[in-house]
Structure 1
Amino acid sequence: MPGSTAPAGYDAGKYPPFAVTVDLAVFTIRSGALSVLLVQRGSDPFEGSWALPGGFIEPDEDAATAASRELVEETGMEDAGYHLEQLRTYSTPDRDPRMRVVSVAHVAFAPDLPDPTAGDDAAFARWWVVEEILGDPDAPQLAFDHREILTDALERVRAKLEYTTLATQFLAEPFTLAELRSVYGAVWGVAPDRGGFIRKVLSTDGFIVADEHTAEADPRPALYRRGTATDLQPALLRPRAGEGPGEDEPDN
């Protein structure tokens, strides 16, 4: 392999070994609530505790490949139909009691994810409502630094919905405007103003497109699919604290 031979005079033994893992904050919307996939650890450290799914990067993998592999293994999804991106690297020296472990955390989300099946190193796996984990003081404490990762991942997804069209990735196609607006409500904790939201979505070229199978009949509510646009300029900003959603008559 290229680069596998150390240069003359280089002593790798001068540096302590460490492992690299990937951790995944996998989100979906279930029964109208933003939910995250957690696994119950089947062995030490933190046996019995809940944690984000993940695993060690294999010698022949890069971080992106390992994250994709773990995502498919944990959710049963095919290698398409989901959004996956790197979040950040977590490298506090004592974050793992076994040895020095650096985690390259990723965020993923997709529509209608099924009930998970626990992997080899997990006792159980299930979806948790995010607010139950982060907002309830009696919620289970997550292993390692996974609460920090989950908190950062939630903020990443909330921000993504402000300046990109990725909200559509939470929905199976075709979908209604009401269903799309409900994604923002689930992720942000409050739905955007209905009138402003509809104007923004319909006036942004390529945000959504009419479903070709229903456009001619002009059904109400109309059905839509994802468009080709990726960015929102100007952004669709989150409602400010204390600012409630707009009127809730049916979205068309």
Structure 2
Amino acid sequence: MPASQATLAVSTVIFALRPDERSDLKALWLPLVRRTREPFLDYWALPGGWLPADEEMSAAAARTLHETTGLIPKYLEQLYTFGAIDRSPGQRVVSVVYWALVQSDEAELATVGDNVRWFRADDLPPLAFDHNRIVEYALWRLRTKLEYSRIAHAFLGDTFTLTQLREVNEAVLGRPLDPANFRRAVEASGTLVDTGERVAGTRHRPPRLYRFSDPEPLQNPAAGLGTLGSRAPASPTSAPSQAPHRSIE
């Protein structure tokens, strides 16, 4: 391959809401795969792989994600393209990175073992290549998107309680929110509809169930998120993986 020719890869950052053993709050977790060859042998990395010439990028991202973790997310969206010259030792690799959001019950179906493991998104070990920076950017983008969209819907069912919605916001923002202030802000936003139903099987007064008034579609695999904003973390640089448990470049 000529030195001037780049190789294309796809990768995915998968966020799930899971219990946090260190506090009463839920937290964002993501699955990582262990590299089984150099460079970065035994380092943890994001799921991914090379892009075949005859496969769409979004399809390749979904396929490599499923092959590695067993997950089929409802929400899969293009995050950013990372193409720094030095992101892969010995060759030029450009990675198109997607992000996926999965609900807690979906996350429990993920394949885990010696080479696939869940980690807290804000407490990661040193990862292969520039994958720490990629996760940092994905977290920044998720928190920014939460402010002006209904992306929380991807972590919830069709109906949910205000407490469940608040837990999503707390996990994404990484801090507790005052329940009363949160309720007032959400009710004033006009984005929720009271379904008239309540949670069944609870003692005392069961909480109400809500839905979004006009929820965004959860599956949009071809939509890009634009360029880096002025407050975004520095653009990552990473490299490709050829291991059986694929990791993104």
Instruction: Please tell me whether residue 91 in structure 1 is matched to residue 111 in structure 2.
Output: no
Which residue of the partner structure matches residue 21 of structure 1? Answer: 9
Question: For residues 30-66 of structure 1, what are the alpha-carbon distances to aligned partners after superposition, in whole Å with 9 as ceiling and x for unaligned?
Answer: 1111111111111222110000111111111222221
Alignment of 1:85-234 (within 5 A): 85-112=77-104, 113-114=107-108, 116-117=110-111, 124-133=115-124, 140-210=125-195, 220-230=206-216
Measure, in 2, the Cα distance between the counterparts of 1:51 and 1:117.
Answer: 15
Q: Larger C-alpha radius of gyration, 1 or 2?
A: 1
Which residue of the partner structure matches residue 49 of structure 2? Answer: 55
Measure, in 2, the Cα distance between the counterparts of 1:210 and 1:199.
Answer: 18
What TM-score, normalized to structure 1?
0.72
Instruction: Please tell me whether residue 82 in structure 1 is matched to residue 74 in structure 2.
Output: yes
Is residue 208–residue 224 contact of structure 1 (8 Å, CA) maintained in 2?
Answer: yes
Q: CA RMSD for the aligned pairs? A: 2.7
Equivalent position SS for 1:131:
coil
Is residue 49–residue 142 contact of structure 1 (8 Å, CA) maintained in 2?
Answer: yes
Question: For residues 74-118 of structure 1, what are the alpha-carbon distances to aligned partners after superposition, in whole Å with 9 as ceiling and x for unaligned?
Answer: 34234xx52221111111112112421100111111101125326
In structure 2, the CA distance between the partners of 1:213 and 1:181, relative to structure 1 (3 Å rule), is closer
Which residue identity lines up with residue 117 of structure 2 in the other structure? R
Deviation at 1:208, TM superposition (A): 4.7
What TM-score, normalized to structure 2?
0.73
Is residue 26–residue 108 contact of structure 1 (8 Å, CA) maintained in 2?
Answer: yes
Larger RCO, structure (CA 8 Å, separation 6 or more) = 2
User: Displaced runs of 4+ in structure 1, greater than 3 A?
Assistant: 203-209, 211-215
Which residue of the partner structure matches residue 18 of structure 2? Answer: 30
Is residue 115–residue 126 contact of structure 1 (8 Å, CA) maintained in 2?
Answer: no
Question: For residues 118-170 of structure 1, what are the alpha-carbon distances to aligned partners after superposition, in whole Å with 9 as ceiling and x for unaligned?
Answer: 69xxx61111011211xxxxxx2100110110000000111111111111211
In structure 2, the CA distance between the partners of 1:124 and 1:209, relative to structure 1 (3 Å rule), is farther
Which residue identity lines up with residue 132 of structure 1 in the other structure? D
Equivalent position SS for 1:161:
helix
In structure 2, the CA distance between the partners of 1:101 and 1:118, relative to structure 1 (3 Å rule), is farther
Deviation at 1:211, TM superposition (A): 6.4
Is residue 201–residue 208 contact of structure 1 (8 Å, CA) maintained in 2?
Answer: no
Measure, in 2, the Cα distance between the counterparts of 1:211 and 1:36.
Answer: 35
In structure 2, the CA distance between the partners of 1:20 and 1:208, relative to structure 1 (3 Å rule), is farther
Question: For residues 174-219 of structure 1, what are the alpha-carbon distances to aligned partners after superposition, in whole Å with 9 as ceiling and x for unaligned?
Answer: 321111101111111113343332133234344455265769xxx6
In structure 2, the CA distance between the partners of 1:108 and 1:52, relative to structure 1 (3 Å rule), is same
Instruction: Please tell me whether residue 41 in structure 1 is matched to residue 29 in structure 2.
Output: no
Unaligned 5+ runs, structure 1: 1-12, 134-139, 231-252
Equivalent position SS for 1:25:
strand
Aligned residues: 205
Alignment of 1:233-244 (within 5 A): none
